[in-house]
Structure formats: C-alpha cells, structure tokens
C-alpha cells in the first residue's frame, strides 16, 4: 500500500530570508499512522503542516497526498492551536462550517454533525455560543469541525497548548480514543516530548538552522501507555538529546 503522504526534499524560505526555515525534508505517513513532530520554536513545524495543507507553498520539493478526491469528503483537515471558532455561530454551526462545498444532503449533513459532536463528547453543548465554552470545549469543537469532513489525514498544530495540564491530559486521551475508532492518519505538532511519546507511533525531531530531520524514532511502547512509566521516560530522555 502506498504511503498516504509522501514529502520529498521539501524546503521553505521566507522571501527576505538569507536561509530556509527547513531544507531537504523527506518523510512519509502511512494510512492510520500517528506521527508527532517536535522541535524548538522556529524550526518550521507549523510551516511544514501548512505546506501539507496547501495553506502556504513550499519553496522547493514535492508533497504528494495519495488520497482520492471525493465530493463527499476532504482529503485533509487542519486543527489549529486556538480552534478559530466564529463567534457569531453556535457550536453546531461552527462544526458544520467545513461541510460547505461538499455534496451532502441535509440529512447527511446533520448526521455528520451529530456523529462528530458525539465523538468529541460535546453533543450537549451544540447550541452554545463560543464565548460560553471552556478552553477544552473549544478545542473539542475545533477537532469536531475537522472530523466532520471525514479526512483521511488530520493535521494538528499544537491543539492542546492553550489549556491547563489536567484538561490537556484528558484531551490527549480523548484524541487517542477518536484515532483508534476512526483509523485516521495524524500529523501532530507539539513542543512537549512526553505528549509526543504518549500519543504517537513515530516521533520526528526537527533541529538545526535550516531545520532538518535529526531523528525519526519509532515508538513501540504498548498501548495504553503509562505517562510516568520508566520506559516512556527513558524514551523522552533519548529524544530530548536529539534536540
């Protein structure tokens, strides 16, 4: 089976920069694989995600998303750090926003909304306005909106960075449950090494200037994982040494 995503010799540079943000990056994402990207600020983790999503053009190299086009689904979906809910739309209408342009009947559209509200555990909040939501509820809404378009590849840019530690842990477990139920591939950006190891099948470390892939580490720890287990902490120290 072909990789879901194939990135070959990718580089990105700002127009007025003396050197690229990252250079000659190559990686693949398999169907259903969960990959975490870690690295210091400025190495281009979020920019790489935006290149894959088509939000910004790469300077050179190739990105191949090996997913058939469909009138009923989108190939990829993006979850931002701040969820970016529209304040004049109730939660359910924010979730529905990404469905615009898809060829869905009214009943199919409603079924999609109810499906993802249930997956993200916010069905009872459907009629609330964004200002009435907590940080965790807002991020669940952002994930629900992304899932509603039935993407094969979910791009997540530090989606839990703005919430408190207890909420973050809860959202991590909820994301894993969703991933295990939906079998979507995930490319997940984070600064938190332990979060990366807890969630991912592979952790990719970006480092240097311009950035390159310094480490591509398979995480073979059995699931469910214990956050404070010695083997997880040992892996975290190993990855930290590559930063």
Domains annotated on the chain, with CATH = 1-67+152-243 (3.40.50.300), 85-151 (no CATH)
pTM comes to 0.95
Give SS3 for 24.
strand
Considering only CA atoms, which of 39, 35, 105, 55 is closest in space to residue 47? 55
For the segment 162-172, the average pLDDT, to the nearest whole number, is 93
Residues pairing with 65 in the sheet? 5
Percent of the chain with pLDDT over 70: 100
Q: Could you say which DSSP state residue 216 is in?
A: E
State the Cα–Cα distance between residues 26 and 6, nearest whole angstrom. Answer: 8
Asked whether the predicted pLDDT for residue 73 surpasses 90, the reply is yes
Q: Could you say which DSSP state residue 14 is in?
A: -
Cα angle value 180/191/201 (rounded, 5°): 30
Q: Could you say which DSSP state residue 16 is in?
A: T
Asked whether the predicted pLDDT for residue 16 surpasses 90, the reply is no
Q: What is the pLDDT of residue 162?
A: 86
Window from 66-70, 102-106, 136-140, 201-205 with minimum mean pLDDT: 66-70
Q: What is the pLDDT of residue 134?
A: 95
Considering only CA atoms, which of 242, 219, 241, 243 is closest in space to residue 232? 219
State the Cα–Cα distance between residues 173 and 168, nearest whole angstrom. Answer: 9
Whether 210 and 48 have beta carbons less than 8 Å apart is answered as no
Give SS3 for 103.
coil
Q: What tens digit of pLDDT does each residue of 182-191 get?
A: 999 999 999 9
Q: Could you say which DSSP state residue 159 is in?
A: T
Considering only CA atoms, which of 175, 12, 169 is closest in space to residue 79? 175
**Number of alpha carbons in the 13 Å side-chain half-sphere of residue 142:** 25
Per-residue pLDDT band at 2 (split at 50, 70, 90): confident
Per-residue pLDDT band at 82 (split at 50, 70, 90): confident
Percent of the chain with pLDDT over 90: 91
Per-residue pLDDT band at 15 (split at 50, 70, 90): confident
Q: What is the pLDDT of residue 32?
A: 96
Give SS3 for 160.
coil
Q: What is the pLDDT of residue 211?
A: 95
State the Cα–Cα distance between residues 138 and 217, nearest whole angstrom. Answer: 32
Q: What is the pLDDT of residue 179?
A: 97
Give SS3 for 109.
helix
State the Cα–Cα distance between residues 8 and 126, nearest whole angstrom. Answer: 41
For the segment 116-129, the average pLDDT, to the nearest whole number, is 97
List phi, psi (to 5°) of 195. -60, -45
State the Cα–Cα distance between residues 182 and 136, nearest whole angstrom. Answer: 21
Q: What is the pLDDT of residue 18?
A: 85
Pairwise pLDDT comparison (1 vs 205), residue with the higher score: 205
């Amino acid at each position: 089976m072909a990789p879901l995503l194939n990135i070959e010799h990718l580089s990105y540079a700002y127009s007025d920069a003396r050197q690229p943000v990252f250079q000659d990056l190559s990686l693949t994402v398999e169907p259903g694989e969960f990959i975490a990207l870690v690295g210091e600020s400025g190495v281009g983790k979020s920019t790489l995600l935006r290149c894959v999503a088509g939000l910004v053009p790469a300077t050179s190299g190739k990105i191949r998303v090996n997913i058939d086009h469909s009138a009923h689904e989108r190939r990829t979906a993006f979850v931002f750090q701040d969820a970016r809910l529209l304040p004049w739309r109730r939660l359910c209408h924010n979730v529905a926003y990404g469905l615009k342009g898809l060829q869905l009947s009214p009943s199919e559209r409603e079924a999609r909304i109810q499906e993802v509200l249930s997956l993200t555990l916010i069905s009872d909040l459907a009629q609330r306005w964004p200002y009435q939501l907590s940080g965790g509820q807002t991020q669940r809404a952002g994930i629900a909106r992304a899932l509603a378009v039935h993407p094969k590849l979910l791009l997540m840019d530090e989606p839990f960075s703005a919430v408190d530690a207890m909420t973050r842990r809860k959202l991590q477990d909820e994301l894993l449950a969703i991933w295990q139920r939906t079998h979507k591939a995930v490319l997940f950006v984070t600064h938190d090494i332990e979060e990366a190891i807890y969630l991912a099948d592979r952790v990719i470390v970006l480092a240097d200037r311009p950035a390159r892939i310094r480490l591509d580490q398979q995480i073979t720890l059995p699931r469910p994982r214990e956050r404070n287990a010695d083997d997880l902490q040992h892996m975290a120290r190993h990855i930290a040494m590559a930063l």
